[in-house]
Structure 1
Amino acid sequence: MAMLALTLLIGILAVPSSAFLPTIVEMLSPMIEADQVFNQVPNIRYTDLLNDNSHIDQLVLHAMTHYGFFYVVDVPDYNAETEMELMTTFFGLPEDVKADVEIRAHNPANANAYRGYCPGLDDIDATLQYKNIFNIGPHETRAPFFDNSLDDATEKLRYDVQEPNVWPNTDNCDFDKEFKETFQAGFELRRGIARAFVRSISRALEMPGLPSLFTEDEFSAMGLRKYPERRAVNTNMYSDFDGELLRELEHVDSTVTILSTFENGGLQMLYNNEYKDAPNSGNDFIVNIGKLVDDIIDNELVSVRHRVKEVDFARYSITYFLGPSFDADISRSMSGEITEAGHKYTIFGEWIKDYLGAIELFYY
């Protein structure tokens, strides 16, 4: 179940010293033609972001206010090809093997509601849910027992969302081991990027209280996604915005998103009221922010609207979402204003309870 005048960055950033200029220039992609505007989206080095090097904060802020996303590059010990190969192998397994890790909506014999395999809807009328997802969360062991005799939907959800991951159990032990270890590491890698991004934005916007909302991440989720090739097309698959044939609905995310598109094209971002192709992530990561979190920071950033246009191949991607802690107060922004969610909810757990009830698959 994710969404700006063309000006050269050097001319508008307040640079603290001449020594900083080469660092900014080096981080920028070289092409600045108007028809390739996203080649200007900043590249932020992984080590600079994770080490809280404050000299990149204004660059991150520029990316998020002008484009709504940026790229994290030069990630040590990360190999996108390995993730792609493992995803391709998993989704190519026989359906009866994958059924062992299906969520209970598809396999009632399984306990998990959110973490596990979600088969795509094999129906040409399922226009924008035509994908298969394997969802991974932060927990490997079950949370403490919840007393089901208690009539408390919020506390039951607090228990339910801490369900443990499930992992493929095939006749290939080497594959099973590599799949689990690779995506456990991939989850931690993306979580680290998302939290470092929150810290960077909190410094850039002078909102020191922001990171405290993300001390826990009970609802964080990483989805391995396969969009199969379509066998047919119907009129419901075309965008109401511009008539483009779509694989994924135009939307804005809710939380913090770390996206891997590998070398799979199709992702488009809205820029100056026009959808433009976003460069593939390759061995890097795309970072964007969702509406719920943007409201908390007084809408200082762009929660970019995005979509996936139709492509003529099976498309793979990985999305990681970092949400606030269960008990994080989302009712007011950093400046004290009532947020959009705050008209109905106080804590994130209340919001996510309704959100999960409104969607069939766990991706937010």
Structure 2
Amino acid sequence: MNSHFTAIPVIDISGLSGNAGQKQTVVENLGHAARTIGFMYITGHGMEPSLFANMLRETKTFFDLPIEEKMSLYIGKSSNHRGYVPQGEEVFSGGSKDLKEAFDLSLDLPSDDPDYIAGNPLIGPNQWPAIPQFREIITDYYNAVFNVGRQLMSAFAVALGLSADAFEASLTKPPSQLRLIHYPYDPTAHDVAGIGAHTDFECFTLLRATAPGLEVMNGQGEWIDAPPIENAFIVNIGDMLELLSGGEFIATSHRVRKVKEERYSFPLFFSLDYDVRVQPLPGRENPALPTQSLVAGEHLFAQTAQIFTYLKQRLADGTLVLPESSLALSSFGQESRHPNS
């Protein structure tokens, strides 16, 4: 269970490319962190530091554009939730608007992809700004982080007693989103929540950030700092792995407090394919979980639609209807059990 932790473990995953004993050690370390905390730092991932440096440079170039140019790529203009997210667009379950801007993208599929043509709300092409090399550099980073995610998904499978390739057939074109997030300098900031407390909706998240601000809720409902570590990812378990494991892995609630300094944050939300049914593995059924079954993409989109203003407007006017199985925000994780923290 989620313990009274005061720090987040650092796990070197380079052993996943080593011999059987080295792999087993990494798997055990990842599994322990997933079961007891739901958060971990990972090092030894093998990504060249230049990938992050180049992506950060291009991100700064984009957010330095005039607001009119950024709004030409407004996410509400897309049919598959891709593009620019202005300040105030997102409202989490706490009701406060987030003081940040973002650019959201995912696997860049062609406009003739059959699922996109059929109206899938999360699959298809990205919107791209007219910045030389932006698309190429961001795509290189996306592909590299996604490959690290594949390694982790395989390791988590083994930690759950499955084969290493147990989830490979469910990773053909997942709606795994990368967000480029910018928190502007805010000299009036007080030490209060920025992003409202929430769990992530997918299997897990791989995060790089340029400054502190992220906080994680422990089993006592207390908030623990999770500052960035050089060339390390912060990884946290999401709703889908909590459900698959029957609650054995923990989707730990987290938030971003308001900080004065300018901050960039880059989460890659690692998901299974849109139509994959997620339910507890045999023998791990758990009636305490908020649901016993969900469709990966439907859950992801239903949670997203309850956060983004443009989607909530479509819900209000009836042009968008959520699946009957949709859950309320913050149904998973510690925050659902400590709602007043």
Which range, TM-score by smaller chain? 0.7 to 0.9
**Is 2:15 aligned against 1:44?**
no
Structure 2 gaps of 5+ residues are 312-329, 331-341
Q: Does 1:54 align with 2:24?
A: yes
The code of the aligned residue for 2:197 comes to E
Q: Percent identity?
A: 21
1:214 partner letter: S
**2:159 maps to which residue?**
204
Does the residue aligned with 1:189 lie in a helix, a strand or coil?
Answer: helix
Aligned to 1:358: 306
SS in 1 for 2:72: helix
Q: CA deviation at 1:191?
A: 1.2
Contact 1:65 1:301 in 2 (8 A): yes
Matched, 1:77 2:29: no
In the other structure, the counterpart of 2:122 is 161
- The answer on whether the counterparts of 1:42 and 1:59 sit within 8 Å (CA) in structure 2 is no
- The equivalent position to 2:245 in structure 1, one of 279, 294, 297, is 297
SS in 1 for 2:256: strand
Asked if 1 retains the 8 angstrom alpha-carbon contact of 2:213 and 2:227, the reply is no
TM-fit CA distance, 1:245: 1.0
Partner of 2:101: 132
State the Cα RMSD in Å.
Answer: 3.3
Q: Is 1:118 matched up with 2:85?
A: yes
Question: How many Å separate the matches in 1 of 2:300 and 2:213?
Answer: 29
Residue type of the alignment partner of 1:54: Q
Amino acid at match of 1:330: V
Worse-superposed segment, 345-354 or 319-328: 345-354
* Structure 1, gaps ≥5 residues long: 7-36, 149-154, 171-175, 238-243
Q: 2:90·2:307 contact (CA, 8 Å) conserved in 1? A: no
**Match for 2:129: what amino acid?**
P
Partner of 2:184: 228
Larger radius of gyration: 1
Distance 1:49-1:70 versus aligned 2 partners, 3 A rule:
farther
Rounded to whole Å, the distance in 2 between the matches of 1:122 and 1:146 is 27
Name the residue aligned to 2:198: 251
- The CA deviation string for residues 82-137 of structure 1, in whole angstroms up to 9 with x for no partner, is 3322222211111222233222x2xxxx4444111111128999834221110111
- In 1: Cα distance, 2:285 partner to 2:253 partner: 24
Aligned to 1:102: 74
TM-score (norm 1): 0.71
Change (3 A) 1:180 1:202: same
Aligned counterparts of 1:315 and 1:133: Cα–Cα separation in 2: 12
Contact 1:142 1:162 (8 Å CA) reproduced: no
Q: For 2:137 and 2:57, how far apart are their aligned partners in 1? A: 11
Q: Does 1:323 align with 2:279?
A: no
Aligned residue identity for 1:207: L
> How many aligned positions are there?
299
- State the distance in 2 between where 1:123 and 1:359 align: 5
2:119 counterpart letter in structure 1 = K
Answer whether contact 1:267 1:308 (CA < 8 A) is retained.
yes
Matched, 1:307 2:277: no
On the 8 A contact 1:288/1:304 being kept in 2, the answer is yes
One-letter code of the match for 1:292?
Answer: M
Alignment partners' CA distance in 1, 2:138 and 2:72: 18
Superposed, 1:151-190 pairs within 5 Å as 156-157=119-120, 160-170=121-131, 176-177=132-133, 179-190=134-145
